[in-house]
Amino acid sequence: MGHGKLRKFAENETFRCLVQPATEEVVAGKEGGLLLKDHPLKGHWNEQVFDAPRPIVLELGCGRGEYTIDLSRRRPDCNYIGVDIKGARLWKGAKYATEQGLGNVAFLRTRIEFIASFFAPGEVSEIWLTFSDPQLKSENNRLTCPRFLERYRRFLAPGGTVHLKTDSRFLHEYTKAVCAANNLHILRCSEDLYGTPRSGDPALYEVQTYYEKMFLQMGLKITYLSFTLDHEGPYAAPDFDAAYWRALEGPRRTFDHQPARNKVQ
């Protein structure tokens, strides 16, 4: 491991806004499936982490945290938590929030599979999924699959919103199919967010991740979908032609500022 990462990991330990639980704090066992237990912060984020109680918004897979921080500045009436497993990425956002004294920003280093261990029923008002890995061949790992929606429902407030912003038409169409299969209320849907007239909250367009800016410069379309988890009972898997949309997606692009070879745009 390079000295740069070691320095960041050491500095991460000093940031009050960064929560880094050990696995054993949330995993009770693995026999017969993953058994989770509640983290001490569950139900207490507003009183123990933030400078004032406000509605809580999560960004799952936040990377460096730029989206989380930008949202927090534009909407100071909410508290924001960026979640990611990569400590070296979270360092940048946590350091910035600390230096700027942002009392409505926090970061959580954990696997998203463990997310229900950290939040009580109704504790979260919104979830943002920004440029998540579409998991082209692994449905159960997609962050909008029924397994993950069930986790989110455990802590999302009634009427709470899930936002999906992605460059992957595959993930966008899959998520639409999940909504249709479970009669979820779609609030807004766009196959080309920046290619259609702007409407609604300006932050939807003006707040952009690092990769979003890069994809726009490459001329790729950004899609957007927002919906509520207004469904009782188990979530059903969708009738989705994965092979068709996978072929249309083409090879996934690399993240070196160049599209992957033969990428379908």
The rounded distance, in Å, linking the Cα atoms of 128 and 60 is 6
Token duo for residue 114: 């463990």
SS (H, E, C) the chain: CCHHHHHHHHHHCCCCCEECCCHHHCEEECCCCCEECCCCCCCCHHHHCCCCCCCEEEEECCCCCHHHHHHHHHCCCCEEEEEECCHHHHHHHHHHHHHHCCCCEEEEECCHHHHHHCCCCCCEEEEEEECCCCCCCCHHHCCCCHHHHHHHHCCEEEEEEEEEEECCHHHHHHHHHHHHHCCCCEEEEECCHHHCCCCCCCHHHHCCCHHHHHHHHCCCCCEEEEEECCCCCCCCCCCCCHHHHHHHHCCCCCCCCCCCCCCCC
Handedness of CA 152, 57, 160, 141 (dihedral sign): negative
User: How far out from the chain centre does Cα 139 lie?
Assistant: 17
- Catalytic residue list: 133
The rounded distance, in Å, linking the Cα atoms of 47 and 45 is 6
